[in-house]
A and B are shown apart, each in its own frame.
Chain A
Amino acid sequence: MSRLLPTMLSRWNPAGPELGIMVAVGVAVIAAWEFLPPLFDVPKYIIPTFSDCLSEFFRMLQYEELGKNFMSTLVTSVVGFLLGSAMGAVFGYLLGLSKLWERVLSPYILALQIAPKVAFAPLFIMWFGYNALPKLLVTILIVFFPILVNVLQSMKTVDRDLINLARVYNMSRFTIFRKIEFPSSMPSLFAGLRIGATLAVIGVTVGELVGGNTGLGFLITYGEGQANTAMVFNAIGLLTVIGIVMYFAVAGVEKRVLHYLEREDH
């Protein structure tokens, strides 16, 4: 499921009649959302209509510091993503360079990889208090592992013959890493980054849900407390926007860096 979404998004390149149908589906869904709940007497605190959400959006902008909360979540997601991926990549490469450490640490990595990272959020709050640090740590932790695992895996599958070629050219261990192993790992690294970009938003959200007084995750719990369902809807929508923006930012960088790969889509 988490892999299906990225491929669906990256293939999103509509043209002609397809685009027309796509827009029509969107309009139909919004229309159903707007008119069906009142028709069936569904109360606003269960399903607020599209226009309810829209007016709530402008109210939030004015009275709930929506802009500030949005930026807080965006910045934490991006910073957590960058730190988590940098650390994951560094550890992945280091373990990839050392067979011994890889073997020694792999059971622990596997265990931590399986552990649900978001469950650490309350723990971090107990340790570090109600500030930005716990949600940043959850984000880093959740981003760290897929990237570490992808990088490590790619280091293990570098073409032996390429390495032998470099050895015949008398290249040092570090030069072989720099000129063969590191560039070979790029496609896997980016696959990890794309997963990480969507996970980062989950990390921040959980951090904010559990303990925080800023961010879109906080607005979700706040809206829930006030039975303001439209506020919850809006916050979920904006979190999705952040995830999509980050995903496409990574995909854009990937397309530039991996320009040398043959692509199926042209």
Chain B
Amino acid sequence: MTSSLDLKDITKVFPDRKTGHEITAVTGMSFSVKPGELVAVVGPSGCGKSTILNMVSGLYGPSQGEVLINGEPVRSTRSDVGFMLQKDLLLPWRNIVSNVEFGLEEKKLTRKERRDRALSEIDRVRLSEFAFHYPHQLSGGMRQRAALARTLAIDPEIVLLDEPFSALDAQTKVVLQKSFSATIAETGVTCLLITHDLQEAVIMSDRVVVLSGRPGTVVDEFPIDLPHRDDPMARSMEPGTRDYVKRLFDTLHLEDQAA
């Protein structure tokens, strides 16, 4: 089961408690994600990337415009959206398997069904050996894989990933990009990957949406016409990859900016 996602002319304004001014995080933003597609969203920090994720997951609504999942407006949190952040959000007092079961506990499943589902997701991210370990006994990369297992265990229609690799060291990041890509391709789930890593956007996605600085709005959008979406390492060797990264680089005017 996979769904489409449409953002239609979205504006989000936050009241600022301290100054009393309003902050417009995103304005007039529109883009869509087709069923089974992986779209990467890149943009400078503070341009409203996480805000998009919160609106899609239904934590709060946009000030103007609409978020549609399968053509239906999102009005509240819904159980078919999975999200994952830079932080693994594993509960330290639960072992890995019961962390993966966490999202399943609100579904009508027997204890055994829940355990079986969790164990098969853990197997998919190759953590079976650690199913009964506690989060603190795992490395950062393993914890993030456990978080992916938890996210996929609820069998989501859409997965939202908010900079899932940015807290990891360079090597772990490469390994995890590969394992995430393979897993996501295997499930065929619709996916929105938020990142500030341009290379990552190119090697992991079907399409890239580029946002301007705050208030964020779409300034460029293009498909990545390269093979190996399920294998970022292979894709990074493709000669076309550099051109796409260069295009992102130029669009974001990185050369003009002083550090």
Where the two chains meet, the residues of A that have a C-beta atom closer than 8 Å to any C-beta of B are: 159, 161-162, 164-165, 167-171, 175, 179-180, 183, 186, 260-262
Report whether A169 and B91 are in contact in the complex, using a CB–CB cutoff of 8 Å: no
Given contacts A164-B59, A262-B136, contact A169 B79 (CB under 8 A): yes
Report the minimal beta-carbon distance from B4 to chain A, rounded to whole angstroms.
19
Known A-B contacts A161-B85, A260-B134, A262-B136; the reply to A169 vs B106 at CB < 8 A is yes
Report how far A261 CA is from B57 CA in the complex, Å.
Answer: 31
Name 24 A/B residue pairs within 8 A (Cβ), A-sorted.
Answer: A159-B89, A161-B89, A164-B57, A165-B83, A167-B59, A167-B77, A168-B58, A169-B77, A169-B79, A169-B102, A169-B105, A170-B77, A170-B79, A170-B106, A171-B106, A179-B91, A179-B105, A180-B91, A183-B91, A183-B93, A260-B93, A260-B94, A260-B135, A262-B136
* Per-position 1/0 for B41-73, Cβ under 8 A of A: 000000000000010011100000000000000
What are the 6 A-B residue pairs with the smallest beta carbon separation, nearest first? A169-B103, A262-B136, A260-B134, A183-B93, A168-B77, A260-B93
Q: Which of B77, B91, B103 contacts A162 (CB 8 A)?
A: B91
B135 partner residues in chain A, CB cutoff 8 A:
260
Q: Which residues of B contact A261 (CB under 8 A)?
A: 92, 136
Q: Are B77 and A161 in contact (CB under 8 A)?
A: no
A159 neighbours in B (Cβ, 8 Å): 87, 89
Q: Tell me whether B209 is interfacial, beta carbon within 8 Å.
A: no
Decide if B154 is an interface residue (CB 8 Å cutoff).
Answer: yes
Sorting the interface of chain B by its residue count into under 10, 10 to 19, 20 to 34 or 35 or more gives 20 to 34
Q: Considering only CB atoms, which chain A residue lies closest to B154 in the complex?
A: A169
Interface residues, chain B, with chain A CB atoms under 8 Å away: 54, 57-59, 77-79, 81-83, 85, 87, 89, 91-94, 102-103, 105-106, 134-136, 154
- Interface of B: prevailing SS: loop
What CA separation (Å) do A260 and B57 show in the bound complex? 30
A261 CA / B136 CA spacing, docked (Å): 7
**Contact between A260 and B87 (Cβ–Cβ < 8 Å)?**
no
Contacts of B89 in A (CB 8 A): 159, 161-162, 165
How close is B136's CB to chain A, nearest CB, in angstroms?
5
- In whole angstroms, how far apart are the Cα atoms of A161 and B85 in the complex? 9
With A and B bound together, what is the CA distance between A205 and B134 in angstroms?
Answer: 43
Taken together as a complex, chains A and B put the C-alpha atoms of A176 and B83 apart, in Å, by 17
Give Cα distance in the complex from A167 to B78, angstroms: 9
B47 to chain A, nearest CB (A): 20
Are A186 and B83 neighbours in the complex by a CB distance under 8 Å? no
State the CA gap A179–B57 with chains docked (Å): 20
A225 to chain B, nearest CB (A): 53
| Minimum Cβ distance to chain B for residue A106 (Å) | 18
B69 to chain A, nearest CB (A): 13
In the bound complex, what is the Cα–Cα distance between A171 and B79 (angstroms)? Answer: 10
Would you call B136 and A168 a contact (CB within 8 A)? no
Q: Are A168 and B85 in contact (CB under 8 A)?
A: no
Bound-state Cα–Cα, A151 to B15, Å: 30
State A262–B92 Cα separation when bound (angstroms).
10
Residue of B nearest to A162 (CB): B89
CA A261 – CA B91 in complex, angstroms? 11
Chain A CB within 10 A, most for which of B82, B93, B134 = B93
Provide the bound-state CA to CA distance between A156 and B93, in Å.
19
Q: Which residues of A have CB within 8 Å of B79?
A: 169-170
CA A8 to CA B189, docked complex, whole Å: 54
Closest to A183 in B: B93
**In whole angstroms, what is the CA distance A139 to B59 when docked?**
45
B contact residues around A167 at 8 Å (CB): 59, 77
Residues in A whose Cβ lies below 8 Å from that of B105: 169, 179
Contact indicator B134/A168 (Cβ below 8 Å): no
Contact residues in A for B59 (Cβ distance below 8 Å)? 164, 167-168
